[in-house]
Chains A and B, each alone.
Chain A
Amino acid sequence: MAVLTDQDRFDTWAEFMRAVSDERDPLGNLSKADLRAAVNAVDTWVSDNTTAFNTAIPQPARGALTASQKARLLMFVVSKRFVRGV
Chain B
Amino acid sequence: MATRAVFDAYSAYFPSANFPQLLTINTTERIPALAFDAATVEGCRWKIIAPQGLTGTQTAIITYCMASATSNKVDFEVSVQAITDDDALDIDATTSFDTVNTITAPTVPGTAGYIDQVTCTLTNADSMAAGDWVVFKLERDADDGTNDTATGDAYVISVEWRDAA
A residues apposed to B, CB below 8 Å:
10, 13-14, 17-18, 20-33, 35
Main secondary structure on A side of the interface with B: helix
| Chain A residue contacts of B68, Cβ below 8 A | 20-21, 23-27
| Chain A residue contacts of B153, Cβ below 8 A | 17-18, 21
Contact indicator A32/B71 (Cβ below 8 Å):
no
Contact indicator B69/A26 (Cβ below 8 Å):
yes
Known A-B contacts A10-B39, A26-B112, A32-B38; A17 and B70 likewise in contact (beta carbons under 8 Å): no
Interface residues of B in 66-97 (CB under 8 A from A): 67-72
Question: Within the assembled complex, what's the spacing in Å between the Cα atoms of A83 and B40?
Answer: 29
Tell me which of B1-9, B49-57, B130-138, B143-151 binds A: B143-151
A38 to chain B, nearest CB (A): 11
Question: Within the assembled complex, what's the spacing in Å between the Cα atoms of A35 and B39?
Answer: 11
A16 to chain B, nearest CB (A): 9
What range describes how many residues of B lie at the interface? 20 to 34
Question: Within the assembled complex, what's the spacing in Å between the Cα atoms of A43 and B68?
Answer: 24
A-B contact pairs, 29 of them (CB 8 A): A10-B39, A13-B39, A14-B37, A14-B38, A17-B39, A17-B151, A17-B152, A18-B37, A18-B153, A20-B68, A20-B151, A20-B152, A21-B67, A21-B152, A21-B153, A23-B68, A24-B67, A25-B68, A26-B68, A26-B69, A26-B112, A27-B151, A27-B152, A32-B38, A32-B39, A32-B149, A32-B151, A33-B149, A35-B151
